[in-house]
Amino acid sequence: MRSSVVARSMYAASVTIYASSLGMQPAAAQTFEDLKQSRSPLVLKAQGSFYIGGNTVAMSQTEAGGYGVFAGGNVTVGQMYVQYMVPAVNRLRVPVVMVHGGTLSGKGYETQPDGRMGWAEYFVRKNFPVYVPDQVSRGRSGFNHVAFNKVREGSAPPSSQPLITRLSDEAAWSLFRFGPAFGVPYRDEKFPTHAVKEFGKQGIPDINAGLTPSDATPRGLSELAKKVRGAVIIGHSQSGLFPLQTALIAAKWTKGLVVMEPGSCDGFTDDQIKELAKVPILTVFGDHLDTPGSVVNWVGAYNSCKAFVKRINAARGEATMLYPPELGIRGNSHMLMNDKNSDQIADLIIKWIDKKVEKRH
């Protein structure tokens, strides 16, 4: 057999297990050899990708950024890239759409920073068809770059150009609640902080500030939900409220809404609450909400979502708060899908889907 990454990962995985059993710290950031291999093969009925939406705009040669004699012309912008995997099982469960947060991409649901299987594959192995988009204006969805080229050629002022954002390692540490001070993890911290450099590589430029319309991704998600004839939508952080926004566009096609750690659940009108009450909703928050230095007030965010859950239930909806510390599960970070117990968190969400979306009792 040819030497392959897989053979070597198996070897590396056993080394890691050995090291852990001695209470040793893994050797800093993830190396390629850390990629963990599953014990059983992944059997897919289908996998691939497609684009949702997008519209054609006419660009001048300079706007398009044409070099040489490339002419401008019609260019597609606003499209949303979606990857998918459908397991080869007779009884498929409800499709699940997983949306990433700020400065990140759909990569966040693939292989984890420490090499473990991401939620996309985990859910597929639990018989869910899984759809992972890149938010419109991020990653493989691309972005409308015209404002930048206009500034470059001098036909628009520099201030007209959208701000592009990245989160520094230091800012991420407190915002994502990896520990009480930069480089210091909580004693019970569930984020694999030894792989935090690898996590930093998942960061890419966030150009949402220039997005037109600003709700392009929820619109794309509503189209996606319709196309798959109903889906559970999972949002996180920057996209935490996207499931709710998607339901407000297409309640009929949203079968369940998983709202993970948005900055707030405030601001919905009574009419919107009435509409949202038609769909089962799960809000999810990790631990250490009072981490010092975080620019988001996570205690406030949690309380606002608790109040939101009450409003939905008062409107005869079915909303639940999943707060792992209440179940004795401590130390989860903001990055619940990357925490060392990410499978456990996934299982809690799947249990909720069982009960509230698929009504398996």
Please list every residue from 22 through 51 that binds a copy of itself, using CB under 8 A.
30, 32, 35, 37-38, 41-51
Residue written as token pair 């619940």:
336
Residues 188-207 that bind a copy of itself (CB under 8 A): 197-198, 200-206
8 Å CB contact between 83 and 49: yes
Structure tokens at 154: 């001098």
Q: Is 52 in the site for a copy of itself (CB under 8 A)?
A: yes
- The interface mask with a copy of itself, positions 128-167, x = CB under 8 A, is -x----x----xxxxx-x--xx-xxxx---xx-x-xxxxx
Q: How far is the CB of 25 from a copy of itself (least distance, A)?
A: 20
Residues 228-287 that bind a copy of itself (CB under 8 A): 228-230
Q: Is 215 in the site for a copy of itself (CB under 8 A)?
A: no
For a copy of itself, give the closer residue by CB, 73 or 300.
Answer: 73
Q: Is 292 in the site for a copy of itself (CB under 8 A)?
A: no
Stretch that binds a copy of itself, among 63-71, 240-248, 324-332, 344-352 (CB under 8 A): 63-71
Question: Hey, what amino acid is at 123?
Answer: F
Q: Is 359 in the site for a copy of itself (CB under 8 A)?
A: no
Q: How far is the CB of 181 from a copy of itself (least distance, A)?
A: 14
Q: How far is the CB of 183 from a copy of itself (least distance, A)?
A: 11
Q: Is 360 in the site for a copy of itself (CB under 8 A)?
A: no
In three-state form (DSSP H/G/I as H, E/B as E, the rest C), the secondary structure along 207-218 is CHHHCCCCCHHH
Identify the DSSP state of 184.
Answer: B
Q: In 10 A of CB 94, how many CB atoms? A: 17
Rounded CA-CA distance 244/82 in Å is 19
Residues 314-353 that bind a copy of itself (CB under 8 A): none
Q: How far is the CB of 242 from a copy of itself (least distance, A)?
A: 19
In Å, how far are 117, 120, 129, 337, 350 from 47, measured between CA atoms? 17, 12, 10, 21, 21
Q: In 10 A of CB 38, how many CB atoms? A: 11
What is the CB-side half-sphere exposure of residue 337 using CA atoms within 13 A? 29
- The interface mask with a copy of itself, positions 74-113, x = CB under 8 A, is xxx--x-x-xx-x-x-xxxxxx---------xxx--xx--
Structure tokens at 221: 């998600």
Q: Residue 56's Cα: distance from chain center in Å?
A: 27
What is the CB-side half-sphere exposure of residue 98 using CA atoms within 13 A? 26
For a copy of itself, give the closer residue by CB, 15 or 44.
Answer: 44
